[in-house]
Amino acid sequence: MHLLGPFPIAKGQCKFLLVAVDYFTKWIEAEPLATITANNVQKFLWKNIITRFGIPYAIITDNGLQYTDHKLNKFMTDMGIRHRCTSVEHPQSNGQAEAANKVILTELKKRLGDAKGAWAEELLEVLWAYRCTPQSTTRKTPFRLTYGTDAMIPVEVGEPSFRRIHFNENSNEMSIQAEIDTVEETRNQARVMAEACRQRMTRRFNTALNKREFKEGDLVWRLQGTPHRNPREGKLAANWDGPFRVRHNLQNGAYKLEELSSKVIPRTWNSTHFDRPWAKGPVTRAMARRIQEEVDLVKTSGLAKPKVVFTWNALS
| Count of structural domains, the chain | 3
Q: pLDDT band for position 5 (50/70/90)?
A: confident
> What integer is the mean pLDDT of 253-265?
85
Residue 315 is assigned to a structural domain of this protein: no
Residue 276 has a pLDDT of 65
269-295 burial string, b = 16+ CB within 10 Å, else e? Answer: bbbebbbebbbeeebeeebbeebeebb
Domain limit, last residue, from 146, 175, 209? 209
Residue 17 has a pLDDT of 93
Q: pLDDT band for position 292 (50/70/90)?
A: low
Residue 82 has a pLDDT of 94
The reply to whether 104 and 155 lie within a common domain is no
Q: How far is Cα 271 from Cα 73, in angstroms, rounded to an integer?
A: 27
The reply to whether 115 and 5 lie within a common domain is yes
State pLDDT tens for residues 273-284.
787 655 444 555
Residue 197 has a pLDDT of 79
Domain limit, last residue, from 131, 163, 188? 131
Residue 312 is assigned to a structural domain of this protein: no
The reply to whether 16 and 96 lie within a common domain is yes
Q: pLDDT band for position 98 (50/70/90)?
A: confident
**Mean pLDDT score of the chain:** 80
Residue 143 confidence (pLDDT) above 90 = yes
> What integer is the mean pLDDT of 208-232?
72
The reply to whether 4 and 36 lie within a common domain is yes
Residue 174 is assigned to a structural domain of this protein: yes
The reply to whether 137 and 81 lie within a common domain is no
Quick check: pTM over 0.85?
A: no
Residue 305 confidence (pLDDT) above 60 = no
Q: pLDDT band for position 312 (50/70/90)?
A: very low
CA distance readout (Å), 158 to 60, 101, 110, 124, 206: 40, 30, 22, 20, 47
Q: What is the CATH number of the domain that holds 274?
A: 2.30.30
Residue 286 has a pLDDT of 54
Domain limit, last residue, from 101, 131, 161? 131
Whether the Cβ atoms of residue 110 and residue 122 lie closer than 8 Å to each other: no
Q: How far is Cα 36 from Cα 49, in angstroms, rounded to an integer?
A: 18
Residue 96 has a pLDDT of 76
State pLDDT tens for residues 38-49.
999 999 999 999
Residue 89 is assigned to a structural domain of this protein: yes
The reply to whether 85 and 176 lie within a common domain is no
The reply to whether 72 and 94 lie within a common domain is yes
Residue 215 has a pLDDT of 83
- Report cis status (omega within 30 of 0) of the bond before 6: yes
Which of 72-86, 162-176, 297-311 has the highest mean predicted lDDT (pLDDT)?
Answer: 72-86
Residue 43 is assigned to a structural domain of this protein: yes
Among positive and negative, which fits the CA dihedral 163, 168, 171, 176? positive
Among positive and negative, which fits the CA dihedral 98, 102, 103, 107? positive
Whether the Cβ atoms of residue 269 and residue 222 lie closer than 8 Å to each other: yes
The reply to whether 111 and 147 lie within a common domain is no
Residue 294 has a pLDDT of 58
Residue 52 is assigned to a structural domain of this protein: yes
The reply to whether 53 and 139 lie within a common domain is no
The reply to whether 127 and 12 lie within a common domain is yes
Look up the domain containing 204 and give its range.
133-209
The reply to whether 127 and 137 lie within a common domain is no
Q: pLDDT band for position 124 (50/70/90)?
A: very high
Q: How far is Cα 196 from Cα 56, in angstroms, rounded to an integer?
A: 25
Q: What is the CATH number of the domain that holds 21?
A: 3.30.420.10
Residue 157 is assigned to a structural domain of this protein: yes
Residue 311 is assigned to a structural domain of this protein: no
> What integer is the mean pLDDT of 222-249?
71
The reply to whether 290 and 234 lie within a common domain is yes
